[in-house]
Amino acid sequence: MTVPYEAVRARRELTVVSADGTRIHVEEYGRADGPPLVLAHGWTCSTLFWAPVVRALAADFRVIAYDQRGHGRSASPRSRAGYGTTQLADDLEAVVRAVLPGGASGAGALGAADGGGAGDGTGDGYDGEKAVLVGHSMGSMTIMAASGRTAVQERTAAVLMTSTGSARLLGSTQVLPPRFSSRRVRRAFHRQLLVSRLPLGPVTPVSRAALKYGVLASGSTREQVAFSARIVHACGARQRSEWGRVLAALDLDAELAALTAPTAVLVGTADKLTPPVHARGMAAALPNCTDLIELPGLGHMTPIEDADAVVAAVRKLAAAYLRVGAASGDARAVDDPRTDPRTDTRTGTLTDPVTDTRTEEKSA
């Protein structure tokens, strides 16, 4: 595995407790004083998924990534009730409150000064930093699901949604090509792919070939396929199935229409899981769509298949909507090539122990 696909050592790790008590693992990379980016990965992935993107951005940004519940080092819900778009929104809200505390509450702590609890929809008097939120697949759906959360709105400067859809996923998925069967048969086949609890087992040449066919482009490299397989096979069968049920019934059209932050949409033209029809529809429905980026010939794993294109889209949004104030009171654009000499941008430096940052309980 070459450098782009090796894990990036986090500068800081913390644990955030979501509204229902689920523990969410969060990692920070890059500049401690850099403008913030928050990355949300997709179905069956983990923070490792973002390694090529993190490596390219860490010199200039404070990059924050977290494991979705049931993935990576985050806890799994105890029952099916813990899986849903409301819970995705709860987790994102808990993360952004913890990493962008603002006001008088102090870094990494949430208390009475923070106002309402996660998911209560009330303002918290926030006066701190804003971040560019970046989602891939289910991570983008997470951002949509949280579009009505005041705490998330107040902390969002702009959004990049990659390889995703807001609803009607089964009707458009093309893993089983239309020419092979009726629409009804394709829907049933694709639903079974999502909800199956069959274990994926070890990574083999056959499983890599199947994964490449389903989620990557035909031109993807051997390393990209191996990296994707390493990530996807690490997801538990039960967790994969429970989130698959959520995706099979997904309907976030209303939440998409409520996402008012400047938003760019990116998709690979050969994406079988969330084909470009989704991206085009989302771009048309968004109140403030800044860009629709279609990457020719790429599949569903765009941040792995073309990290440079995703990084360029992030930098474009950051340059337009984020500015950082220096200690002297000056401000400079975040695409300034200068780096923080205190930060090892290749591996980072682990400076903080794991902490438990609990969101407040919902008000009755």
What is the 8-class DSSP label of residue 164? Answer: -
Query: Which of helix, strand or coil describes residue 14?
Result: strand
Pairing state between β 156-162 and 131-136: parallel
- The pLDDT score that the predictor gives to residue 127 is 85
- Nearest CA to 164 out of 238, 252, 291 is that of 252
Say what angle helices 237-248 and 183-195 make with each other, to 10 degrees.
140
Quote the radius of gyration of the chain (alpha carbons, Å): 19
Q: How many CA atoms lie within 13 A of 214 on its CB side?
A: 13
CB of 354 closer than 8 Å to CB of 15: yes
Pairing state between β 263-268 and 131-136: unpaired
For residue 194, the surrounding DSSP H or E stretch is helix 183-195
| 46/40 Cα distance (integer angstroms) | 9
Type of residue found at 294: E
Q: pTM, whole model, 2 decimals?
A: 0.82
Pairing state between β 323-325 and 331-333: antiparallel
CB of 304 closer than 8 Å to CB of 316: no
- The pLDDT score that the predictor gives to residue 213 is 83
Residues with Cβ within 8 Å of 85's Cβ and at least 6 positions away in sequence, in order, are 141, 142, 145, 246, 250, 252, 255
Residues with Cβ within 8 Å of 273's Cβ and at least 6 positions away in sequence, in order, are 137, 163, 169, 173, 175, 214, 215, 300
pLDDT in tens, the chain (364 residues): 567 899 999 999 999 999 999 999 999 999 999 999 999 999 999 999 999 999 999 999 999 999 999 999 999 998 999 999 999 999 999 999 999 997 533 333 222 223 334 444 444 578 899 999 999 999 999 999 999 999 999 999 999 999 999 998 877 776 656 666 666 766 666 566 666 766 677 888 998 998 898 899 999 999 999 999 999 999 999 998 999 899 988 999 999 999 999 999 999 999 999 999 999 999 999 999 999 999 999 999 999 999 999 999 999 999 999 975 433 233 344 443 333 332 333 333 333 333 343 333 333 3
